[in-house]
Structure 1
Amino acid sequence: MATLSDAKRVVVKIGSALLVDRSTGTLRASWLHALAEDVAWLKGMGKDVILVSSGSIALGRGALGLPSQDLPLEQSQAAAAVGQIRLARAYEEALAPHDITTAQVLVTLEDSENRRRYLNSRATLETLIGLGVVPIVNENDTIATDEIRYGDNDRLAAQVAVTVGADALILLSDVDGFYTANPVLDPSARRYDQIDVITPEIEAMAGDGVSGLSKGGMITKLLAAKMATAAGCAMAITEGSPDNPLKMLETGAACTWFTAQDDPHLARKRWIAAMKTRGVLAVDAGAAKALLNGNSLLPAGILHIEGDFGRGDPLAILGPDGRKLGQGLSRYTSEEAAAIRGCQSSEIEAILGYAGRAAVIHRDDMAL
């Protein structure tokens, strides 16, 4: 069975019902400070941690004195705008005593569906993680309308886990795992300790949530598990309301682990390799050798460019003998790539008139 100790990169999803007191609409500060202890504990073991947090609308609703029932879109977005700044401040204040720097990252569904935005989001998150920062990710409820919403943070957390190549996703929930039926309605329901394959029978057992503040029910958690495990990320559902829920998970708290179906790095490479290419980059012998040694593709090594492509589009990479070395996702448009072809990375800004990325295709976005 998977454990937190085995993971190198962990995404933790925190629901509104855990962060915000449902009767007062105020932050559960003591619980959040206990969670911060857990984050510091994971960081102390050398693990990367990303938090996907609900709570902005719930906090804003309380601050504005809005009713507890469903709000019109405009009021929800206003509540989110007020709540987001409170949520970010709360995480900053909770983690600062542990010498942990936080960053707020607000996303919409478009950011994962559009390859250009996806690459930008991924690059930002990777840079933050590399600097030792704990990103706090939330859906940008202030601007997201129904057609560009995830709609629940379970699937958002799974998408973040896939984006950053996490090997563990923890859903801190108001239930302690996945059951054969809703345990509130069926006392005979049995909790699974581990699920290796999500079968149609497992899917049929999923029901809607009963939490007043949580939007995502067990169906959304199962969809998150399918997305995460297919990308090589194990996922756990566990009760999040006690203090230090992550330490409790590691020491045997009730939960359900969904087994990863692949290594996250290999799963991403296979995803890139399966894409239909939109263009071609031919590289010189030096670049070909560098790629095979695990390096990124720099503009200096590009000999020839074919196709009309945009940022984020998949491109075939050909060696000097014309044979295909692999393919990867471009960080430049075809026009930009043509302009910087054969140049040093230090010359990119002078040529394009704005600062660009050093690599045309980063090694993490490449399958050879």
Structure 2
Amino acid sequence: MKRLVIKVGTAVLTQDGQLAIERLSALVDLIAKLKNDKNYEVILVSSGAVGAGFTSLQLDKTQIANRQALAAIGQPLLLKNYKKRFKEHGITCAQMLLIADDFDSRKRTKNAQNVMEILLENKILPIINENDVIANDELLFGDNDQLAAHVAYHFNADMLAILSDIDGYYNKNPREYDDAVMLKVVSSINEEELQMKHTANSEFATGGIVTKLKAADFLMKNNIPMYLSSGFDLTNAYDFLVDDNHKNGTIFKK
């Protein structure tokens, strides 16, 4: 049985200050297909709590305390929508909120691993997010790409799939250069690429291509492949994850 971590970004889950319910539903359908038809063990790492909170209370998100408050409001809203849609597929969800420190303590890591194994053995879908309410530094500088990479490593996944507003890794920025070419397979990432300027692509996002490269680099060093594809149109994700057909998107592997 394959164990797959799927990470979805804020830019996919929110649009115009609202939750992007259609895209969330499409993601749920994909995960249900993987769990019910392919018999995969799936762990979902989901961003979007701050964006979801903003739909209920329009606080100034430049203030850290406000962003933490928005995360506190948004996390149950996000989970409510996930639970409703997954229930239609007969899938029960569980929530796990983690921070980087949880993977720095052997005791806390082992506790989390024990819980994860119980959930997966009982076919429960774990939904993981960073605990933004208490994680000051992580909220400012961290991102769920890094979290997802550590989730894949510490919870013994066979692969991480990141579904984003970025549909793959190109030889140059496709938003600036018309002749940019997607790299379908990447086997190494140089230091210059890892040190590129960090850019987020959503007012609520903390990620960008650099955080994804850092996640891929960490996983490749630990012999775990990572797939990067669009979360807006899941056609390529279905081809690769369901049909084992790599038509598009980037796979990072040694």
Q: Return the TM-score normalized by structure 1.
A: 0.63
Counterpart in the other structure of 1:211: 201
Q: Using CA pairs below 8 Å that are at least 6 residues apart, which structure has the higher relative contact order?
A: 2
1:97 Cα deviation from its structure 2 partner: 0.8
Q: 1:20 to 1:232 in 2, by over 3 A?
A: same
Q: Secondary structure of 1:246's partner?
A: helix
* 1:180-329 to 2 correspondences below 5 Å: 180-200=171-191, 203=194, 208-209=198-199, 211-212=201-202, 213-243=204-234, 246-250=237-241, 251-259=245-253, 261=254
Percent pairwise identity = 36
CA shift for structure 1 position 230: 2.1
CA gap of 1:229–1:149, structure 2 versus 1, over 3 A, is farther
Q: Which amino acid aligns with 1:99?
A: G
Q: Is the 8 A contact 1:108 1:148 kept in 2?
A: no
Provide the C-alpha distance between the structure 2 equivalents of 1:207 and 1:177, rounded to a whole number of angstroms: 18
Q: Please list the CA deviations of residues 276-306 of structure 1 after superposition, one character each: whole Å capped at 9, or x if unmatched.
A: xxxxxxxxxxxxxxxxxxxxxxxxxxxxxxx
Alignment of 1:85 with 2:97, yes or no, is no
Deviations 1:19-67 (A, max 9, x none): 111x1x2222122222111111111211100000000001101210235
- 1: CA distance between counterparts of 2:181 and 2:90? 42
Contact (CA 8 Å) 1:207, 1:218: kept in 2 or not?
A: no
* Partners of 1:209 and 1:253 in 2: CA distance: 27
Deviates more, 1:210-219 or 1:71-80: 210-219
Q: CA deviation at 1:231?
A: 2.1
1:142 equivalent among 119, 124, 133:
133
The question of whether the paired residues in 1 share the 8 Å contact of 2:6 and 2:160 is answered with: yes
- Judge which range, 162-171 or 224-233, deviates more: 224-233
Report the 3-state secondary structure (helix = DSSP H, G, I; strand = E; otherwise coil) of the residue aligned with 1:77: helix
Q: Is the 8 A contact 1:180 1:191 kept in 2?
A: yes
Superposition deviation, residue 16 in structure 1: 0.7
Alpha-carbon distance between aligned partners in 2 of 1:150 and 1:50, rounded to the nearest angstrom:
23
Partner of 2:98 in structure 1? 107
Per the alignment, do residues 64 and 167 of structure 1 end up closer, same or farther by CA in structure 2, a change over 3 Å counting?
A: same
Tell me which stretches of 4 or more aligned residues in structure 1 moved more than 6 Å: 147-150
The one-letter amino acid paired with 1:236 is Y
Q: Structure 1 CA distance, aligned partners of 2:91 and 2:18?
A: 24
Q: What is the deviation of 1:191?
A: 1.4
1:339-361 per-position Cα deviation (integer Å, ceiling 9, x unaligned): xxxxxxxxxxxxxxxxxxxxxxx
Give the superposition deviation at 1:252.
4.4
Partner-residue secondary structure (3-state), 2:171: coil
Q: Is the 8 A contact 2:6 2:163 kept in 1?
A: yes
Residue 332 of structure 1 is matched in structure 2 by none
Task: Report the equivalent of 1:155.
Answer: 146
Letter in 2 for 1:138: N
Structure 2 partner of 1:132:
123
Aligned partners of 2:163 and 2:229 also within 8 Å: yes
The CA RMSD over aligned residues, in Å, is 2.1
| Structure 1 range deviating more: 42-51 or 142-151 | 142-151
Aligned with residue 72 of structure 1, among 63, 85, 110: 63
Q: Which residue does the alignment assign to 2:162?
A: 171
Which runs of 5 or more residues in structure 2 are unaligned?
A: none
Please, what TM-score do these two structures have when normalized by structure 2?
0.90
Looking at structure 1, the residues matched to 209 and 89 of structure 2 have their Cα atoms a distance apart, in angstroms, of: 34
How far is 1:201 from its partner?
A: 6.2
Residue in 2 that maps onto 1:49: 42
Q: 2:2 — aligned with what?
A: 8
Letter in 1 for 2:33: W
Q: What does the per-residue CA deviation read over 1:205-231, in whole Å, with 9 as the maximum and x for residues that have no partner?
A: x55435124321211111100111222
- State whether residues 31 and 243 of structure 1, in contact with CA within 8 Å, keep that contact through their aligned partners in structure 2: no
What CA distance in whole angstroms lies between the structure 2 residues aligned with 1:127 and 1:147? 27
Q: Counterpart in 2 of 1:335?
A: none
8 Å CA contact 1:109–1:148 kept in 2: the answer is no
Higher CA-based Rg: 1
